[in-house]
Structure 1
Amino acid sequence: MPKRFLTLAMLCALWAMPMAALDATLEIITSSTKLPFVIVEHIPDNSEYGQKLLSQLVGDLKVSNHFQVEKGENVKNSDPDFQTYKDKKIDLIARVSASKKSGAIVGRLMLYDVRSGKKVFEREYAQSTLSRYPFVAHEMCIEINAYVQAPRIDWMKELVVLAKYTTSGNSVIALADYTLTFQQDIIQGGLNIFPKWGNKEKSIIYFTRYINNKPTILRYQLSTNTAEIITQSDGMAVVSDVSNDGQKLLLSLTPNKGAADVYLYEIQTKNLKRLTSFSGIDVGGKFINNEKEVAFVSDRLGYPNVFATNLEGGNVEQLVFHGRNNSAVSSYDKYIVYTSRESNNEFGLNTFNIYLIATNSDFIRRLTEKGSNQMPTFSKDGKNIMYIKHTDTQSALGIIRLDYNSSYFFSLPKIKIQSYDW
């Protein structure tokens, strides 16, 4: 492996550090580490989708935080003049093209190592429909990243499931890529909200629909396009988390028109167990600490805050001691992200920021600033957080790269997201 890529080993080592240690190392990542310089060029074939693929790949490489990136021009399908690129201090040349075949899209990537003066690989990547071209770019980025032996970025190809409002009283559930460039509506008709992935394979979705004026939790099989009822409740029925093996659900329910509480539901036995019992509101349960405990949001202090209990429904412990309006919790093992309201503007947009804490320490880290930052959700590897950012002028989907203290935004000009899962 060329010496210039050895700096990526430093990133690999930093990647393995606990989150509490990362802030002390950010300067090494952002200024001292020389990242490989890659230029992305287009070999014209299908110009429309080739250019889209080019732009998407450039964006992915930037989001990875593992490269310096330049968007190149159209080039001929011939070997590059390596000396010209070497003079510009470019390390890698990524050349892409796209073609349509019976409604499908096929992207081709040729990667050249400038130092060695060789083509290091050539690959084709296919997706079943043209609209799925972002996934072609994501796969390309993952493979370029693997070539320089940078920390894995497989999360880029993970599907997002989201509920988006269409008209008054109606919403659809859709599948998307992490940038929301690709979107495919899959569940329509009525109010379909609170989608949640049901297993690691992402072949099952839980969601809530009103049936006979009752919120009803359904289990939807993507492969067969069929749904079955799990349970109903009077005022609220939401799947807030799913265990790693897909066999346990945390639900927020309000049976008998009472206050909302957190319940544990077992798929195999269909046993429903109440974990919290409070006259006010307990919602949004999330598995934490190797799924031995549950974090949830409660107003038992007179305002929303984050608490924890065990799977036996034992003592309740306060987890967050910062802020007076904390909600929208997500978890990854012992790490928790939550939103905190930090202004009280009666007529304008309030400021909500996102914070990261660890359950085994006093560690706390603010992840956002300015605007209303909502719906934080961990990626499956716990290395990234997706969220929605609203300002006075625009709304955007945000991605926080935790190990690099960086954020990236994708505009949401024509979509109103109710909730989502990554």
Structure 2
Amino acid sequence: MKIFFSILLLFSLSFASDATIEVIKKVDSLPTIAVEDASTSYDESFKMKFFKTLIADLNVLSILNVDRYYRVNDFDASNVVVENKDFNYVLRYKLFQGDGGSLNVQMIVLQDNKQVFGKNYKVSNTNIHVFVSHAMAYDINEFMGESSVEWMKKKVIFSRIVAPKKSEIVISDYTLAYTHVIVTGGFNIFPKWANQAQSGFYYTSFDSGKPTLMYVDIKNGNKKNIISSDGMMVCSDVSDDAKTLLLTMAPSGQPDVYSFNVDTKKSQRLTTYKGIDVNGQFMENNKIAFVSERMGYPNIFSANRNGSGVEQLVYYGNSNSSCSANGEYVVYKARESSSAFNSNTFNLHLISTKTDSIRRLTASGVNEFPRFSKDGDAVIYIKNYQAQSSIGIIRLNHNRNFLFPLNSGRIQSMDW
């Protein structure tokens, strides 16, 4: 029963629907930018799809007020279209097909009809056009001298349920607009990036009858059996140097947090409470955060990396069943209602280990799977509200929240 309940703490489910992009607390004092399409290839449907993706990426940057109107111009035109003459910046791009079906993009940024920035892009096919858009937004951000949004170019990995005891592991962009299935067959869940380069990942396989942690090298597709355990086996976090894993295992029926040395293949039990301890996360100052039921309900605790010095970390919310840590900050999911007849509200909150302040990041619905970007600037999560499901991006330093349609089916877990 303990193992079943602890799996419930780690599992959450999301469903596809047609949510729209939502921008919260837009700041009107930001510089303005318009976009002009000068494409010479592709049909109107694809051109509009690319335009909408680029507009969304520019909005997520949170440094510009982005005009949403689609306008066309010649790439070499000496002036912007008349509707764009009063904008601070105009981004003009040209899509054209290259050899072998490659997608080529030329981009320039104009200020007062003079080019101030430009760059070219090329990918093998149109299926991965979203990564070109993300790269363009990233480069605009760099040109503007803002703090890095490297996370925008990072990939998301998630598992989705396709049938009873059947799942797929999928790699996608940060909006989940592009998806590529990389593991199929069997019941494979809880994927976790193995390093910051995202050149490999771990996941839990149930194919052998005993939960087994597997490693996949993305470059060559090779798989390795890392460690098995009766009851449970979940990799919840990887150290920055990729040499230490935090695992949830239950070899004796008792779910606990363990550290695992990748080189020596040796594990160390970190929690010893006679209950449920799961979801270990690395923090700064040689600390970890984890979820425990030692208060009679799931809550967030911290401990030293050797398991000593356990302390309650969160004092707000009930059923605080998942968390993600980055440096001194922890984002966690908390239940804020207790209805027996209606859907309950689960919001995300942000705390710092250095202050007593708490910041609510969401306001309604069921918000789950929070994951920090590596630089701590953004949080990705899944939002379920009024029969709609979306991928959310929270820009913490800009106090803005963006929602994208979730069309990837029933999500079991994800990592960024």
Task: Confirm or deny: 8 A CA contact 1:61 1:141 kept in the other structure.
Answer: yes
Q: Are 1:270 and 2:268 an aligned pair?
A: no
Give the superposition deviation at 1:100.
4.9
Give the superposition deviation at 1:406.
1.0
Q: Which residue identity lines up with residue 64 of structure 1 in the other structure?
A: L
Q: Are 1:30 and 2:27 an aligned pair?
A: yes
Match of residue 348 from structure 1: 342
Give the superposition deviation at 1:49.
3.5
Task: Confirm or deny: 8 A CA contact 1:54 1:96 kept in the other structure.
Answer: no
Match of residue 278 from structure 2: 283
Residues 301 and 417 from structure 1, CA distance in 2 versus in 1: closer, same or farther, beyond 3 angstroms? same
Q: Which residue identity lines up with residue 55 of structure 1 in the other structure?
A: K
Give the superposition deviation at 1:73.
1.8
Give the superposition deviation at 1:244.
0.2
Q: Distance in 1 between matches of 2:185 and 2:409?
A: 17
Residues 111 and 255 from structure 1, CA distance in 2 versus in 1: closer, same or farther, beyond 3 angstroms? same
Match of residue 215 from structure 1: 211
Q: Distance in 1 between matches of 2:74 and 2:92?
A: 13
Q: Are 1:243 and 2:244 an aligned pair?
A: no
Q: What do residues 115-152 of structure 1 show as CA deviations (whole Å, max 9, x unaligned)? A: xx322344221223321100011111111222222222
Give the superposition deviation at 1:392.
2.5
Give the superposition deviation at 1:349.
2.0
Task: Confirm or deny: 8 A CA contact 2:75 2:92 kept in the other structure.
Answer: no
Q: Distance in 2 between matches of 1:346 and 1:303?
A: 17
Residues 385 and 289 from structure 1, CA distance in 2 versus in 1: closer, same or farther, beyond 3 angstroms? same
Match of residue 175 from structure 2: 179
Match of residue 53 from structure 2: 56
Q: Are 1:74 and 2:68 an aligned pair?
A: no
Q: Which residue identity lines up with residue 268 of structure 1 in the other structure?
A: D
Q: What secondary structure, in the 3-state scheme, does the structure 2 residue paired with 1:138 have? A: helix
Task: Confirm or deny: 8 A CA contact 1:96 1:110 kept in the other structure.
Answer: no
Q: What do residues 73-97 of structure 1 show as CA deviations (whole Å, max 9, x unaligned)? A: 2222332425936743342232232
Q: What secondary structure, in the 3-state scheme, does the structure 1 residue paired with 2:206 have? A: strand
Q: What do residues 131-179 of structure 1 show as CA deviations (whole Å, max 9, x unaligned)? A: 1100011111111222222222221111111111112211111110011
Within a 5 Å distance, the mapping from 1:89-104 to structure 2 comes to 89-104=87-102
Give the superposition deviation at 1:313.
1.6
Residues 84 and 320 from structure 1, CA distance in 2 versus in 1: closer, same or farther, beyond 3 angstroms? same
Q: Are 1:165 and 2:161 an aligned pair?
A: yes
Q: Distance in 2 between matches of 1:95 and 1:126?
A: 13
Q: Distance in 2 between matches of 1:210 and 1:367?
A: 35
| Higher percent of residues as helix | 1
Deviates more, 1:125-134 or 1:48-57: 48-57
Runs of 4+ in 1 over 4 A off after TM superposition: none
Q: Which residue identity lines up with residue 88 of structure 1 in the other structure?
A: D
Pick aligned residue for 1:378 from 346, 368, 372: 372
Pick aligned residue for 1:224 from 206, 213, 220: 220
Q: Are 1:338 and 2:332 an aligned pair?
A: yes
Give the superposition deviation at 1:380.
1.1
Task: Confirm or deny: 8 A CA contact 1:284 1:297 kept in the other structure.
Answer: yes
Q: Distance in 1 between matches of 2:78 and 2:49?
A: 22
Residues 42 and 416 from structure 1, CA distance in 2 versus in 1: closer, same or farther, beyond 3 angstroms? farther
Give the superposition deviation at 1:67.
1.1
Deviates more, 1:120-129 or 1:360-369: 120-129
Q: What secondary structure, in the 3-state scheme, does the structure 2 residue paired with 1:396 have? A: strand
Give the superposition deviation at 1:405.
1.1
Aligned-pair identity (%): 36
Give the superposition deviation at 1:295.
0.5
Give the superposition deviation at 1:228.
0.9
Q: Distance in 2 between matches of 1:415 and 1:271?
A: 37
Q: What secondary structure, in the 3-state scheme, does the structure 2 residue paired with 1:269 have? A: coil
Q: What secondary structure, in the 3-state scheme, does the structure 2 residue paired with 1:184 have? A: strand
Match of residue 13 from structure 2: none
Q: Which residue identity lines up with residue 314 of structure 1 in the other structure?
A: S
Q: Distance in 1 between matches of 2:214 and 2:337?
A: 37
Match of residue 362 from structure 2: 368
Q: What do residues 40-61 of structure 1 show as CA deviations (whole Å, max 9, x unaligned)? A: 4343322343332222111100
Match of residue 104 from structure 2: 106
Query: Structure 1 regions of 5+ residues with no counterpart?
Result: 1-25
Task: Confirm or deny: 8 A CA contact 1:42 1:72 kept in the other structure.
Answer: no
Q: Are 1:44 and 2:40 an aligned pair?
A: yes
Q: Which residue identity lines up with residue 165 of structure 1 in the other structure?
A: I
Q: Distance in 2 between matches of 1:42 and 1:179?
A: 25
Give the superposition deviation at 1:370.
0.9
Give the superposition deviation at 1:211.
3.0
Task: Confirm or deny: 8 A CA contact 2:246 2:258 kept in the other structure.
Answer: yes
Q: Distance in 1 between matches of 2:218 and 2:414?
A: 16
Residues 108 and 274 from structure 1, CA distance in 2 versus in 1: closer, same or farther, beyond 3 angstroms? same
Q: What do residues 243-288 of structure 1 show as CA deviations (whole Å, max 9, x unaligned)? A: 00000000000003x2100000001111100000011100000001
Task: Confirm or deny: 8 A CA contact 1:112 1:118 kept in the other structure.
Answer: yes
Q: TM-score, normalised by structure 2?
A: 0.89
Of structures 1 and 2, the one scoring higher in RCO (CA 8 A, sep 6+) is 2
Q: Distance in 2 between matches of 1:353 and 1:340?
A: 6
Q: TM-score, normalised by structure 1?
A: 0.88
Give the superposition deviation at 1:104.
3.0
Residues 337 and 36 from structure 1, CA distance in 2 versus in 1: closer, same or farther, beyond 3 angstroms? same
Q: Distance in 1 between matches of 2:406 and 2:280?
A: 28
Q: What do residues 329-380 of structure 1 show as CA deviations (whole Å, max 9, x unaligned)? A: 1000110000001112234321100000011210210000110011111011
Q: Distance in 1 between matches of 2:120 and 2:337?
A: 51
Q: What secondary structure, in the 3-state scheme, does the structure 1 residue paired with 2:52 have? A: helix
Deviates more, 1:408-417 or 1:132-141: 408-417
Residues 270 and 83 from structure 1, CA distance in 2 versus in 1: closer, same or farther, beyond 3 angstroms? closer
Give the superposition deviation at 1:388.
0.6
Q: Which residue identity lines up with residue 64 of structure 2 in the other structure?
A: F
